Amino acid sequence: MVVHANESLVTLEDCRSYNQDSVDRAVKAAADGAGLSGLSGATVLLKPNLVLASEPDRAATTHPAIVRAAIRLARSAGAARILVGDSPGWQALAPVGAKTGLDSVVQEEGASWADFSEQVSVEVPDGSLVRRFNLARAVVEADAIINLPKLKTHGLMYYTGAVKNLFGCIPGLSKSAFHLRFPGRQEFAAMLADLYLAVRPAFNIMDAIVGMEGLGPNNGRPRHIGLVMASGNAFALDWVAARLIGYDPHDIPYLGLAARDGRYGLVPEAIRTAGEDPAARMVRPFELVHVLRENDFFHKHMPGWMHGLVRDLTVARPFFSDERCIRCAGCVEICPAKSLSFSDGKPAPAVDYDTCIRCYCCHEVCPADAIMLRRRGRFRIRLRNS
């Protein structure tokens, strides 16, 4: 297929299991179809989703079969050096690599782990909100970045895929500072869009063989989708994937922003697809995080104290289960507002809701599904089926 200058091509390849031969074929077909090129002699960094130490079957992280296929693809395309790297939410990379199954893949395929501990400042003169990011040096120095996201729901952004996966290019707990700096859903989305301009991955290959529905990105349920998807444009890939599971892409905060702002290179009406027909592969019902409709009038004209009260009543807050909490302290460590603390005689952390910014970082990294997101009182966060 010929892709014209203003078009973004997204390919969808059928892949019903993580059988390695099947994944290798699907990844190559998706990449070839979407025009992967320019890797001859390059240092290539593969960026999977490694949010926490989690078994592959839990569907919270990019499956090792996808990473193995991507290493083989990069090598066959002439890459001189292949690195694999990410910055997990709060854990060290070593236990995350072991639990997710990627350690053996990296070793067996002759790739190397990238060190994400050292930071380099990157200017983003075209950013709408953020004009400078401190990124992992390995990200900045790679000749090409191949982004390997997992298709999942997300408590804050509703959906997470290619663009949100780039958040892991910011080292360690520095990520938490961005939640504190940009606590609102729309401003956090603008930060993510600007981060894309800083990283600019050369290509994106999405693990949509088994995604996650419900309370993603960690505590939802695995959901079979049966696709490998690819594109040179991360926003276009997310646009097609979000629609595939039942979202209006305009409701995904960073996609809605990119559709309105030409600096991000997303022209929804110019997206083209190849391979599997997206209309025939829509997943119904898929349990989605409920989209909260934010009313600009109330934000602008409501007194501050009243806006705070309404927000407290309508925006979900984290509630901890004493029975499920394993006291790993990941939530306490990652909390950007320092709203969580352990107290004597209580297994789970106590929450200072006056300072809690509702970023849901705690929920995202909890390995024990010990945190529920509920509105004040008795209502649990709503999910909707489509």
HEC profile of the chain:
CCCCCCCEEEEEEECCCCCHHHHHHHHHHHHHHHCCCCCCCCEEEEEECCCCCCCHHHCCCCCHHHHHHHHHHHHHCCCCEEEECCCCCCCCHHHHHHHHCHHHHHHHCCCEECCCCCEEEEECCCCCCCCEEEEEHHHHHCCEEEEECEEEEECCCEEECHHHHHHHHCCCCHHHHHHHHCCCHHHHHHHHHHHHHHHCCCEEEEEEEEEEECCCCCCCEEEEEEEEEEECCHHHHHHHHHHHCCCCHHHCHHHHHHHHCHHHCCCHHHEEEEECCHHHHCCCCCEEECCCCCCHHHHHHCCHHHHHHHHHHHCCEEEECCCCCCCCCHHHHHCCCCCEECCCCCCCCEECCCCCCCCCHHHHHCCCCCEEEECCCCCECCEEEC
What whole-number distance in Å separates Cα of residue 95 and Cα of residue 239?
33
Between CA 124 and CA 134, with CA 130 as vertex, the angle to 5 degrees is 70
Bridge partners for 83 per DSSP: 45, 112
**Within 10 Å of residue 115's Cβ, how many Cβ atoms?**
13
Ordered by start, the domain boundaries in the chain are 8-289, 296-385
Bridge partners for 8 per DSSP: 271
The answer to whether the bond into 285 is cis (omega within 30° of 0) is: yes
- What integer is the mean pLDDT of 364-374? 85
pLDDT (0 to 100) of residue 345: 76
pLDDT > 90: percent of the chain: 73
Class of the CATH domain delimited by 8-289 = alpha beta
pLDDT (0 to 100) of residue 376: 64
pTM, full prediction:
0.90
176-225 pLDDT per residue, tens: 899 999 999 999 999 999 999 999 999 999 999 999 999 999 999 999 99
Q: Is pLDDT larger for residue 88 or for residue 1?
A: 88
The owner of tokens 């009243």 is: 306
- In sign, the C-alpha dihedral spanning 203, 97, 68, 158 is negative
- What integer is the mean pLDDT of 323-327? 90
pLDDT (0 to 100) of residue 55: 97
Contact 321, 246 (CB under 8 A): no
Question: Can you say whether residue 201 is alpha, beta or left, with left for phi > 0 and alpha for psi between -120 and 50 degrees?
Answer: beta
327-349 pLDDT per residue, tens: 998 898 888 889 989 887 788 99
Is there a common fold for 8-289 and 296-385? no
CATH, domain 296-385, list 3.40.50.720, 3.30.70.20, 1.10.10.10, 3.40.50.11540: 3.30.70.20
Cβ contacts of 304-309, under 8 Å, gap ≥ 24: none
What whole-number distance in Å separates Cα of residue 254 and Cα of residue 31?
24
pLDDT (0 to 100) of residue 3: 38
Indicate the pLDDT class of residue 305, thresholds 50, 70 and 90: very low
Longest pairwise C-alpha distance within the chain: 65
Q: Is pLDDT larger for residue 180 or for residue 90?
A: 180
Q: Which of 26-40, 142-156, 259-273, 300-314 has the lowest mean pLDDT?
A: 300-314
